[in-house]
A and B are shown apart, each in its own frame.
Chain A
Amino acid sequence: MTATATRRGDKKKQKLEDPRSTEEISAERRKGRMGLYLILPGMIVLALFFAAPVLVLLSMSLNAKPPGGEIGEFVPALEFGNYVTVISAYWDVFLRSFIFALIATVAALVIGFPMAYLVAVRLRGRQLLQGILLVLLIAPFFSSFILRTQAWKQILSDEGPVVTVLRAIAILPADGHLTATAFAVVCGLTYNFLPFMTLPIYANLDRLDTNLLEASGDLYASPLTTFFKVTLPLSAPGIFAGTLLTFIPAAGDYVNAALLGNNRDTAMIGQVIDSRFFKIVDYPGASALSFILMILILALVLIYIKRFGTKELF
């Protein structure tokens, strides 16, 4: 704090006895303005494609149904009651969405980290093998998200091989099933967002200096201690990025819950928004839900960044 203060003080002093001519200073100012002009296109794109939709969403969420209006007919208003209605109706679905997303994020971390470590550190220098495994990791992206999830529905279905085997070895009861359960939804989320976890961790571990792991062993740290004291802290930026990239889309996802869930006790908020919007034609309600979801995710992410942000790590 004090350092910045003195530095600022220095700057001020510099200004007082600035040896540069006024032309030089105004040239510098022009340069500064030039910078502004250069970021202008970016700002416009952001305004058009991010700020505008959010504003439309916000105003839509405050619309009211006119008395005697038809289904899907709404007029501009400031109906904050919409928010009260949807929150009281769907707070449990919000909670479930975040819990599912959290479990899926942890599961993806537990599965993705060893995969990334294997490819980035253990197979370092063996480029062919690394390349093959990376392609396998990204390969699911080449097919449609919905088709992939549909495929899992087939695999996990009651007539499918997994359930048959699990029933045969009595891990599942004879009438047990996998689809239409919370377990299946979380598995689907984990599977679908796994690359978002694995790739940032891979990119980070790829730069991990293995000399540091050797130095840790040399200083009496067992492999396990080395992992927790050296590898894990050094890969924190990758884990940080990976968890955010997994959690955010998972919390708002509706495909997995729709295809692998049962519509009763596995519904996620994305699913509710989808049906409010397209089936029930409750535009203000769906908009209010979307807006709440956005704010909640934003708040959670900010807390997370504040708590684990890696800016000052090194």
Chain B
Amino acid sequence: MTTVTTNKSEPGTTTSSGADLHLQNISKRFVDFTAVDDLTLTVPSGTFFALLGPSGCGKTTTLRMIAGLEQPTSGSISIGGQDVTKLPSFQRQVNTVFQSYALFPHMSVLDNVAFGLKRKRVKDTLQRAKAALAMVELEHMASRKPTQLSGGQQQRVALARALVNRPAVLLLDEPLGALDMKLRRQMQVELKSIQTEVGLTFIHVTHDQEEAMTMADTVAVMNKGKIEQMGAPRDLYELPKTAFVANFLGKSNLMYGTVLEDLGDAVAVDASGHRLVMPKNRAVAHSGAAVVGVRPEKMRVMTLEAEYSPSANMLTGTVLDASFTGVSTEYLVDVPGIGTLATFSQNMGQAPAQRGETVRMTWEPEFSFGLDGNEKATEGKDAL
């Protein structure tokens, strides 16, 4: 799968590496429904960009507008600095790996892959198509019809059919959605390595947060037609700016409170009688109502007797549920006034806390993050 070097050495392929993609105030309204709402977005050339969001949030619609298959209601799209908003899809240097693959059933696998090259009238069409098939390890399937392939193989053909054209921007609409977990993980690694080697701009749409985080250089979390937050996977995970991002990208414990005092670099929040500290540069609001968040793995669970750093945030609660998973024990702890928090402790040989036991949970203030006090703490929690 990583024999891309043979393609790279081909003449003419280096001329069409990725291009910047820019969406300016893009909206798409269907009769009475706004699928994409005033989206502005820049994807630098050569980036692996993931568009992450629950189903129905407008990811496919966004891709279709970039591909030219859907006309935006307002706004403009440019690729490599050229405004393509009015350009029909067949004139855009963009290719799509469709969610349903959309392979031509009346053509062989090889003809499917060669289709775009033939339209562009490039030389040695078949050679290039064969090389692209070799890249996805399907050269022995060249003369088959798409219906004679498995789902995973069809997915690879769809990928080869798009990649072989070396588009300025490659759009992938949940391309791994139909694959089983094992193949999915394998294809994630392969897709990432193909992208690294060909250096094209990839826009990868997914509703799988783990997939987005492992593959992408930049992740944009999308919700209800808008981008909630965008950034490097680690930045997004460590410092979510909205409850939706905090819950959709991994798990978070979110606690309502009111800012009590200004500590200079940090603020102290009163959350139902508990004093919690968070750094100002990690908080959206520095006064009034606020939501304090912390990731479960940043918390330490300990007995009431154990010592802890005096600067740490500390909560005491009753274990509602403790499930031993081997590497760790996952806890649900009820804290009076705050509610149920999730946390876990790595298995270092200590005896796990039992259900009904009272435990102390601590975390360093720098791991706290602060959200707007008006956020709904459950936003995005069960979104898929």
Contacts and interface: CB of A to CB of B under 8 A. Distances in A.
Interface string A224-254: 0110011001100000000000000000000
Interface size class of A (residues with CB under 8 A): 20 to 34
Interface in B58-81: 67-69
A218 B90 contact: yes
Given A225-B119, A314-B106, A314-B145, A218 B100 contact: no
Contacts of A212: 102, 104-105
Range, interface on chain B: 20 to 34
Interface string B231-255: 0000000000000000000000000
Interface string A194-220: 000000000000000101101111111
Contact of B104 (A217, A220, A223, A230): A230
B165 A220 contact: yes
Given A214-B102, A225-B119, A234-B106, A219 B147 contact: no
12 contacts: A212-B102, A216-B104, A217-B90, A218-B67, A218-B69, A218-B90, A219-B95, A219-B119, A220-B90, A220-B119, A221-B90, A314-B147
A218 B89 contact: yes
Nearest to B89: A217
B115 interface: yes
Given A215-B98, A216-B115, A220-B120, A313 B106 contact: yes
Contacts of A230: 104
A88 interface: no
Looking at chain A's contact residues, is the secondary structure mostly helix, strand, loop, or mixed? helix
A223 B119 CA distance: 12
**Residue from the set B68, B88, B106 with the largest chain A CB neighbour count within 10 Å:** B106
A215 B147 contact: no
Given A211-B100, A234-B106, A314-B145, A219 B88 contact: no
Nearest to B148: A314
A229 B120 CA distance: 14
B53 interface: no
A214 B99 CA distance: 12
A288 B15 CA distance: 72
Contacts of B94: 218
**Across the A-B interface, the 4 shortest Cβ-Cβ residue pairs:** A219-B116, A215-B102, A220-B119, A211-B102
Contact of B161 (A209, A211, A214, A219): A219
